[in-house]
């Protein structure tokens, strides 16, 4: 069979031109795609390294005792002050009764001490009156003896002087007794140290009794319940966890070189793995002020240098907190803490990049059905 006729130069030219045009179109598409990628990474930064976060509150008893009643179960939503579980209050009722009895005893003791002070003060007044009289008698006799030594006997004068000295000594003793009584009684009224200590003991016993009923410290959903009737609760040992589901946010790790245009309040598109096919709305709540750079070198040692032999250095990521819009929150019942998310930030009203970014997030939401 003879070979067909060779193509003429006029026939080969269109084929070669078409190949070149196709190559140019592909190259142009690659260049445009790269430009859109780099520009989009600056104007509409996104990340798949994002997780759902919420405040987690461990719940523990503040007093020790046996659990009598558990009022809730896992996944129950509770309000602040709602009872969670009760601890046996009987030992704390007894402690409160003892503290109140001690308070009454201290009050009686303080009253007795006050009465002792008043008695010592009265005794001091009597001693001073006796001293004043003895001093007047001794002075009168001394003056009379000086004017006329024969008017009175020396014995009478010495007796008056001895009586005066004894009266002065009694005043000193009465003053010492008064100081001792005042020191034993302490401050008067409610400022008395013993009385304040007894009142504080009663208040502490009342507080311990009130703490036998453990209530929810905040609004949240109960999870990880680890106690039941009959178990012994220890102070400070968590027995359940409250998750503040009413205040969910996303912790998104954006690369450091892509957050230059990101500001608090910027609108955000959110795709949750727990809600495939949906694109939720949110806002940037805050931007992290920094991240740790690894374990620091202890003082007095030599620094450790980490040699990075990679050609390209990995970009540092900064945590950005993203909150859901208020109208999105009723739709978050299926969301769980730690769930994965994709986040994209609209840094401004860019007429080209924003629609492309919205289409990209819609595609991501569709793919979340598959993985």
CA distance 7 to 328: 67
DSSP assignment letter at 206:
H
As given in the structure block, the two tokens for residue 301 are 């040692």
**In sequence order, what are the residues at sequence separation of 6 or more whose Cβ sits closer than 8 angstroms to the Cβ of residue 217?**
57, 59, 80, 242
* 183-189 contact pairs (CB < 8 A, 24+): 184/113, 184/116, 185/110, 185/113, 185/114, 185/116, 185/117, 186/110, 186/113, 188/114
Q: Order of strands, edge to edge, in the sheet holding 65-70?
A: 213-215, 83-87, 65-70, 232-233
Looking at the structure, give the CATH architecture of the domain made up of residues 91-208. Answer: Orthogonal Bundle (1.10)
Phi, psi (rounded to 5 degrees) for 248: -80, 150
Instruction: Classify 166 as helix, strand or coil.
Output: helix
Phi, psi (rounded to 5 degrees) for 364: -60, -40
Cα 148 to Cα 141, 153, 156: the distances in Å are 10, 10, 14
In residues, how long is the chain? Answer: 371
CA distance 353 to 346: 9
Q: What is the pLDDT along the chain (371 residues), one digit of tens a residue?
A: 455 555 555 555 566 677 777 778 788 778 777 777 777 778 889 999 999 999 999 999 999 999 999 999 999 999 999 999 999 999 999 999 999 999 888 887 766 666 666 766 777 787 788 788 877 877 877 777 777 777 677 777 778 778 887 878 888 887 787 777 666 665 655 667 778 889 999 999 999 999 999 999 989 999 999 999 999 999 999 999 999 888 899 999 998 888 888 999 999 999 999 999 999 999 999 998 888 766 677 787 777 777 776 677 777 899 999 999 999 888 888 888 999 999 999 998 888 889 988 999 999 999 888 87
Across the strands, what pairs with 212? none
pLDDT of residue 363: 92
- Written as one string, the DSSP assignment of 226-293 is ---TTPEE-TT-EEEEEE-GGG-EEEEEEEGGG-TT--TT-EEEEEETTSTT--EEEEEEEE-S----
* pTM of this prediction exceeds 0.85: no
Q: Please name the fold of domain 56-88+211-241.
A: OB fold (Dihydrolipoamide Acetyltransferase, E2P) (2.40.50)
- Domain segments of the chain as ranges: 56-88+211-241, 91-208
Same fold yes or no, 56-88+211-241 and 91-208: no
pLDDT of residue 1: 46
As given in the structure block, the two tokens for residue 18 are 């078409």
């Amino acid at each position: 069979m003879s070979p067909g006729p060779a193509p003429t130069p006029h026939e080969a030219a269109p084929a070669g031109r078409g190949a070149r045009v196709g190559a140019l179109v592909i190259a142009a598409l690659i260049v445009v795609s790269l430009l859109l990628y780099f520009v989009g990474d600056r104007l509409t930064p996104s990340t798949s390294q994002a997780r759902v976060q919420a405040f987690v509150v461990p719940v523990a008893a503040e007093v020790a005792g046996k659990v009598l009643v558990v009022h809730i179960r896992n996944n129950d939503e509770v309000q602040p002050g709602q009872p969670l579980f009760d601890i046996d209050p009987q030992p704390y009722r007894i402690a409160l009764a003892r503290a109140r009895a001690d308070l009454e005893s201290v009050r009686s003791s303080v009253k007795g001490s006050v009465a002792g002070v008043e008695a010592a003060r009265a005794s001091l007044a009597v001693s001073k009156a006796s001293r004043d009289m003895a001093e007047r008698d001794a002075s009168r006799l001394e003056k009379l003896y000086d004017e006329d030594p024969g008017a009175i006997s020396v014995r009478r004068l010495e007796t008056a002087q001895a009586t005066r000295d004894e009266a002065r000594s009694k005043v000193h003793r009465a003053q010492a007794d008064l100081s001792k009584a005042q020191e034993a009684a302490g401050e008067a009224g409610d400022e008395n140290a013993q009385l304040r200590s007894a009142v504080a003991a009663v208040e502490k016993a009342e507080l311990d009794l009130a703490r036998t009923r453990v209530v929810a410290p905040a609004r949240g959903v109960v999870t990880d319940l680890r106690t039941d009737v009959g178990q012994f609760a220890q102070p400070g040992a968590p027995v359940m966890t409250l998750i503040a589901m009413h205040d969910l946010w996303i912790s998104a790790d954006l690369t450091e070189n892509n957050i230059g245009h990101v500001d608090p309040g910027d609108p955000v598109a959110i795709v949750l793995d727990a809600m495939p096919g949906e694109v939720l709305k949110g806002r940037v709540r805050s931007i992290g002020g920094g991240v740790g750079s690894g374990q620091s070198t202890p003082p007095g040692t030599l620094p450790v240098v980490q040699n990075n032999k990679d050609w390209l250095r990995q970009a540092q990521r900064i945590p950005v907190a993203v909150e859901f819009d208020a109208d999105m929150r009723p739709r978050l019942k299926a969301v769980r803490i730690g769930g994965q998310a994709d986040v994209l930030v609209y840094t401004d009203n860019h007429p080209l990049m924003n629609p492309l970014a919205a289409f990209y997030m819609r595609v991501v939401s569709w793919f979340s059905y598959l993985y």
